[in-house]
Amino acid sequence: MVRGKTEMKRIENATSRQVTFSKRRNGLLKKAFELSVLCDAEVALIIFSPSSKLYEFSSSGMAKTIERYQRRVKEIGINHKRDDNSQQSRGETYGLTKKIEQLEISKRKLLGEGIDACSIEELQQLENQLERGLTRIRAKKYQLLREEIEKLKEEERNLINENKELKEKLHGMGAIVVASSSSTLSSSEMNMDENDNMEVETGLFIGPPETRQSKKTPPQN
């Protein structure tokens, strides 16, 4: 008798569903045992019935197999992440390489190289790019020149102020020197006058009275 093909859908009859569950559960547990023995494989099987009853089989201990499974999943996740990162890095590298190639081509064209195959539109675009670049370059150059001129003017103003301060200091020092010289000259003149007075007074009283009289003009005969 040929067994009919079972339609893969939920069995609506509760009794039939429970009978089918029991038969297939036992068959699945048997297959798991056979697989572990015949192929020397580490097998762990966990089944929950519709009423949440637990059925399990493990060839090496359920906890050990679950721990191994979790460790392996973690390793696979890390490897997948590395693979994803590697693929992303390769994609980014390829994109950057293409951009560099395009920039090199544009650079050569701006320098007038490799333009033989360019169309009129491409040449017009290159001309516009060059004109915009020259405009920006000139604007930057003039800006730097203006800044340099302002800097030189500021230095000039500082030098003028420093010279002015030095002149004022020198003028003040010259006035002090002149006043000091005038004071010194006045002191010297006073000392000379005092010395002259002392010499005159000393000349009048030198020698005894006789000597003073002998120095008088002798009487005429």
Structure confidence at residue 201 as a pLDDT band (50, 70, 90): very low
Q: pTM for the full model?
A: 0.36
Strand 54-58 to 44-48 pairing: antiparallel
- CA–CA dist 134, 127 (Å, integer): 11
Note the pLDDT tens digit of each residue in 119-148. Answer: 888 888 888 888 888 898 999 999 999 999
Transcribe 78-113 into DSSP letters. Answer: HHHHHHHHHHHHHHHHHHHHHHHHHHHHHHHHHTT-
* DSSP annotation of 216: S
Structure confidence at residue 202 as a pLDDT band (50, 70, 90): very low
Determine the pLDDT at residue 200.
44
Q: Which fold has domain 11-82?
A: SRF-like (3.40.1810)
Determine the pLDDT at residue 157.
92
Among 57, 56, 51, smallest CA distance to 18 is for 51
Determine the pLDDT at residue 187.
56
Determine the pLDDT at residue 178.
61
Residue 128 Cα distances to 13, 116, 134, 135, angstroms:
81, 18, 10, 11
